[in-house]
Structure 1
Amino acid sequence: MDKVQKLSSENGVVIFSNSTCCLSYSVLILFKELGVIPYVHEIDRDPEGKEIEKALLRMGFNGPVPAVFIAGKLVGSTNEVMSLHLSGSLLPQLQPYQTLN
């Protein structure tokens, strides 16, 4: 779907989530602690939410939200983000998007 592609390419770090998802909130807090303010798109509040979910599936995303994109690339869900963080691979990907604190 063009909307997913557009949002993920126009914003450095994007989280597709549901407004009540605690896993999405956890990823958001992690990013903020790392100095990154991601663009959060709440699928459940978007009239095209079902189409976005289908587009994410077509892109290879098969987990529950959040669907995280960094630099226009689908990273995955909470498990993938946390694995990258624990291995030390997440911060280098986020570095271009960190704000000065």
Structure 2
Amino acid sequence: MRLLRSGGGDTGVVIFSKSTCCMCHTVKVLFEGIGVHPIVHEIDQISNEGKNIEKALMALAAGSGSTAAVPAVFIGGAYVGSTNEVMSMHLGGSLLPLLL
């Protein structure tokens, strides 16, 4: 849970994902496509803490108006949201400035 409390890291892009989630894959491809290499934590492959991390991500998403626990995207340690939020930011032109 320490991993989640820190936002996965205080710099760059961190994505909490599930290896079988197509929307997680889409967000990872988006970042790779714009030249960003995020740190990715596949929570379904974290044996002891994965379920607890997922529950915490669900609460975080619900508290911020997001509808999905994963992918959970953090930029600079701050929670940005899930697929809808990231794609909306990208299409609206507000994602790239966060990455600079």
TM-score above 0.5, yes or no: yes
User: What amino acid is aligned across from residue 27 of structure 1 in structure 2?
Assistant: V
Q: Report the alpha carbon displacement of residue 2 of structure 1 after superposing the two structures with TM.
A: 1.7
Runs (5+) with no aligned partner, structure 1: 96-101
Which residue in 2 is equivalent to 1:55?
Answer: 56
Structure 2 match to 1:70: 75
Partner of 1:36: 36
CA distance in 2, matches of 1:28, 1:21: 11
The corresponding residue for 1:12 is 12
Give the % identical residues.
Answer: 57
Query: 1:24: Cα distance to partner?
Result: 0.7
CA-atom RMSD, angstroms? 1.5
Q: TM-score of the superposition, structure 2-length normalised?
A: 0.84
* Kept after mapping to 2: 8 A contact 1:8/1:73: no
2:65 is matched with none
TM-score (norm 1): 0.84
Per the TM alignment, residue 55 of structure 1 is displaced from its structure 2 partner at its CA by 2.1
Counterpart among 81, 84, 87 of residue 79 in structure 1: 84
Tell me which of the two structures has the higher relative contact order, counting C-alpha pairs closer than 8 angstroms and 6 or more residues apart: 1
SS at match of 2:61: coil
